[in-house]
């Protein structure tokens, strides 16, 4: 299978890594071949491997470190990309600031409660974690984007954590 994916110019260095180390790591772990041509990445390999590598490249392009993005090669992890423009007509920066919170507090709380990693890049908020955890973190982010109060979102996260402990 041959596939192409675009990558932002300012994320190409992260994809390549020092002396090509990240690119080689992706190729080895996903068993694919990557070719970077301007702002596009060509992926070649078996279908399932290309799909996994595509998610890793997409995650790096959305601002994740290669170390975090490489988790996506494991079937137990997934990537969710939320386009903020779909949730608001207001100034994007102010909406993103709500998700980040003062000194990163809100973002950190979402990551800690859900055991996920968030990346805010451009007009997107991306989440990496297990499918169940990504679903909860995604819901929390969407609540904030739709204008929910922070304490409401924190209560939601606390409730999901409590239900998980009780096995509900």
Question: What would be the CATH architecture of the domain defined by 2-73?
Answer: 2-Layer Sandwich (3.30)
Domain layout of the chain by residue ranges: 2-73, 78-166
How many residues appear in the chain? 168
105-142 tens-digit pLDDT: 999 999 999 999 999 999 999 999 999 999 999 999 99
130: nearest Cα among 114, 142, 106: 114
> Model's pTM, two decimal places?
0.93
Q: In what order do the strands lie in the sheet with 124-129?
A: 78-83, 124-129, 117-121
Domain boundaries 78-166, corresponding CATH code: 3.30.1370.10
- The C-alpha atoms of residue 97 and residue 56 are separated, in whole angstroms, by 26
């Amino acid at each position: 299978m041959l596939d192409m994916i675009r990558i932002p110019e300012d994320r190409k260095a992260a994809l390549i890594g020092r002396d090509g180390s990240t690119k080689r790591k992706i190729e080895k772990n996903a068993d694919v071949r990557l070719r970077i041509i301007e702002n596009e990445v060509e992926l070649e390999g078996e279908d399932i491997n290309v799909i996994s590598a595509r998610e890793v490249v997409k995650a790096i392009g959305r601002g994740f470190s290669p170390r975090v993005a490489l988790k996506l090669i494991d079937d137990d992890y997934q990537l969710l990309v939320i386009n903020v423009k779909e949730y608001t007509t207001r100034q994007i920066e102010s909406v993103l600031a709500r998700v980040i919170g003062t000194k990163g507090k809100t973002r950190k709380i979402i990551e800690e409660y859900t055991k996920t990693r968030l990346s805010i890049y451009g007009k997107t908020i991306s989440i990496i974690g297990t499918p169940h955890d990504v679903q909860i973190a995604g819901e929390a982010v969407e609540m904030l984007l739709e204008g929910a109060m922070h304490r409401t979102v924190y209560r939601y996260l606390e409730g999901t954590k409590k239900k998980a402990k009780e096995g509900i």
